[in-house]
Structure 1
Amino acid sequence: MLALHFGAGNIGRGFIGQLLSASNYEVCFIDVNQSVIDDINSLKQYHIEIVGDVPERILIQNISALNSSDTEAITDNLLHADIITTALGPTALKFIAPVISAGLSKRISQDCPPINIIACENMQGASSILRELVCDHLSSKDLQQLSKYAGFPDAAVDRIVPLQKNSEKLLVQTERFFEWDVDETGIAGNKPPVNGITYVKNLQAYIERKLFAVNATHAAIAYLGYIQNINYINQAINNDNISSIVKCLLKEAGFLLNKKYDFSINEFNAYSQRILQRFSSKYIADDVTRVGRSPIRKLGVNDRLIAPAIQLADLGIISDGYSAAIAAAFCFDYKNDTEAVALQVHIKKNGLASALFHYSRINPQTELGKVILHKYNLLQK
């Protein structure tokens, strides 16, 4: 079986590539980094190190790589592929849509079996977005038949693979925990046999569990840690004040998810404990500035902090944990992040009340808005 995977970075090699390889796929990585491509093609293998009290070293073999510019070779491989996955960043999906559409057009013309294309990006509806981008490049005839030949099931993925510098080529260090949930209702044909995928019927529940709990907690630790000049996530979570806030946030997340999707409170509490254990691991030192990057996106109305805070407010509950995290996010002034710089320029020019509505669509005159403004002012002192 052949898997085409777009993105040969740490997530691609250290998460998706590992699971595909363990499921007996030949994995062809597609990337723009020629140095990584050359290393994959010359070494034909790499290692993953699972960090922890009981470390493990895993050898990944049966791999190859292509440069993203080699569209002819990619199209030929796509014709024979059994699954296509991505892990290259949400903004890069538009760049791979043309070559995927060309390959799908060939598959349609040759009446190939259906294939599933799963975008494993840190965003909601990534596969659906990729489908729209692919459709822009297909003929009207191919569009009419697309659903028969290709599925674009959305997915929720979770694994910490921090920035790292390793002397061993292609080595990736990662945590043991991972989660890869795929919407089985979006599958075309048979479900791809990948050990590690959990096929679910209500993916939105799992997306929001990750977004409102894992991603929100990660961001909260980063922004609160940054304010206190703490460099790493695992150090910040051990700060009593930060720990108290994120535990409050997780309690709020559990309440909301129970109301919306009937997630068991006891099961969610266990899930929350696992989140805190992961982020406090001494083996993964993740920079707060890396986790906090792109604050404007993370303060979006449908994203990890704002969406649950608004939904709780709609239920008559003004969050304490989420509000503190939101206030801290508006304080993120890291000068090497373009969004952080733009955010601070807006606040300096127009004030936080304006920024709160402009970026997060929260009316500063509402109870939620007032609480966030109050917490922000306390952080500024």
Structure 2
Amino acid sequence: MKAVHFGAGNIGRGFIGHMLSASEYEICFVARNKKQISQLQQRQEYPITLANPEQDTTIVSNVTAINITEHERVAEEIAAADIITTAVGVSALKDIANPIAEGIKLRLMQNKTAPLHIIACENAIAGSTRLKKKVYALLDEEIREQADTCISFPNAAVDRIVPVQNHSDPLQVTVEPFYEWVIHRPALLPGFHEIKGVHYVDSLEPYIERKMFTVNTGHCCAAYLGYLEGFKTIRQVMKDPSLRAKVRHVMEETGALLMEKHGFDSQKHDKYMNAILERFANPNLTDKVSRVGRSPLRKLSPNDRLVRPVMQASEAGIETPHLISAMAAVLMFRDERDPEAVKMQNMISEKGVSGFISDHMDIPANHIVHQKLLASYETLQASVRSEVLSN
């Protein structure tokens, strides 16, 4: 069986590629990094190491790669594939829509009717649906109708911490032992070959929101709260009892929402939160605050890990003082190496914090969450100024 995976980064190699290979797929990575592409073509394998005390290492085999600029070859690979996956980042889905569309055209021109599943393994709700809209916008109506008979875009939720890292081997990647890949079963076409280790569910939203509101929300809150204290890594943040408690309180607030909305068992969710906190504190994994905190504009968008749960909790009558306080810390994030952080601070300077909350976060000025967030930001600003003056 053949898999085409867009993105040969750490997640692509250390998570999706590993699982596809374990299920006996031959994998063709579509990437941009010429060094990685050359290495994958020559070696046709690479090592992944678990961030555990034993540093267990596995070899991922049956792999190769091509450059995304090789349009005809990419289309040919897609035409011959059984599955297509992505791990490029939500903002880059638009960049891979055209090569996927061209591959679909070629596939249908060759009268191939075997099922093809295209799964966006991104940190986003309905990532595959987003990708489908971008791909279908490039196809005419007749081709779209043909595609609907044999091509599906199942949504998925993915979870594995893979920090930025440097190895002497350009293909080696270190990953945490934990992983979770959940796929929406009703979207699968007859003949789909199940991937070992994937959890197939009839309703995906509870799993996506559990992951997003617990892992993603907790992780980024740890980064922004740690940033204000001058910490450089998430592990340092989690070793601070006060900050660890704050992150736990945020997760308890989002947990209350998840239990109310999806009926999660309180004891099981408590164990889930504890496991997440231990993952953040993994002594064998060094994850930088700057990496986890990067792209604050995306993280503060209306449908992402901060605004979405705080607004849903407000509607449900659930108080979220710790989440709101952490969101105030996001508004104070400054990293000159992060274009989004720079842009966010420029927007705040131009519009004021209240204007930013209204315009970018889409929280009206008369909404209680807006008022509480503004008050929390002003309190935090005063606290930081006071600390600077005292020093």
TM above 0.5 = yes
> What amino acid is the match of 1:88?
V
For residue 317 of structure 1, report the CA deviation from its aligned partner: 2.5
TM-score by length of 1: 0.96
Aligned ranges for residues 40-55 of structure 1 at < 5 Å? 40-55=40-55
- Contact kept, 8 Å, 1:233 with 1:287, in 2: the verdict is yes
1:153 aligns with 2:154: yes
> What amino acid is the match of 2:339?
T
**1:199-222: per-residue Cα shift (whole Å, max 9, x none)?**
111111111111111000011000
- Contact kept, 8 Å, 1:233 with 1:280, in 2: the verdict is yes
Distance 1:111 1:61, change over 3 A: closer
Q: Report the Cα distance in structure 2 between the residues aligned to 1:173 and 1:162, rounded to whole angstroms.
A: 8
For residue 291 of structure 1, report the CA deviation from its aligned partner: 0.8
RMSD after superposition: 1.4
Match of 2:11? 11
Match of 2:170? 169
> What amino acid is the match of 2:189?
A
SS at match of 2:239: coil
TM-score by length of 2: 0.94
Distance 1:269 1:69, change over 3 A: same
Match of 2:297? 296
- Contact kept, 8 Å, 1:318 with 1:368, in 2: the verdict is no
**1:170-201: per-residue Cα shift (whole Å, max 9, x none)?**
00001010111111122222333211211111
State percent identity of aligned pairs.
Answer: 38
1:230 aligns with 2:231: yes
Match of 1:362? 363
Q: Report the Cα distance in structure 1 between the residues aligned to 2:82 and 2:372, rounded to whole angstroms.
A: 51
> What amino acid is the match of 2:179?
F
Match of 2:57? 57
- Contact kept, 8 Å, 2:253 with 2:319, in 1: the verdict is no
Count of residue pairs brought into register by the alignment:
381
Runs of 4+ in 1 over 4 A off after TM superposition: none
For residue 73 of structure 1, report the CA deviation from its aligned partner: 1.5
For residue 364 of structure 1, report the CA deviation from its aligned partner: 4.3
**1:306-361: per-residue Cα shift (whole Å, max 9, x none)?**
11111111122231221111111011011121221122122233322222222222
Q: Report the Cα distance in structure 2 between the residues aligned to 1:209 and 1:133, rounded to whole angstroms.
A: 27
**1:211-236: per-residue Cα shift (whole Å, max 9, x none)?**
11100001100000001110001111
Match of 2:253? 252
For residue 105 of structure 1, report the CA deviation from its aligned partner: 2.1
Q: Report the Cα distance in structure 1 between the residues aligned to 2:87 and 2:253, rounded to whole angstroms.
A: 30
Q: Report the Cα distance in structure 2 between the residues aligned to 1:22 and 1:16, rounded to whole angstroms.
A: 10
Match of 1:29? 29
Q: Report the Cα distance in structure 2 between the residues aligned to 1:85 and 1:372, rounded to whole angstroms.
A: 38
Match of 2:321? 320
Q: Report the Cα distance in structure 1 between the residues aligned to 2:89 and 2:368, rounded to whole angstroms.
A: 35
- Contact kept, 8 Å, 1:318 with 1:367, in 2: the verdict is no
Q: Report the Cα distance in structure 2 between the residues aligned to 1:325 and 1:379, rounded to whole angstroms.
A: 10
Range with greater deviation from structure 2 (164-173 or 108-117): 108-117
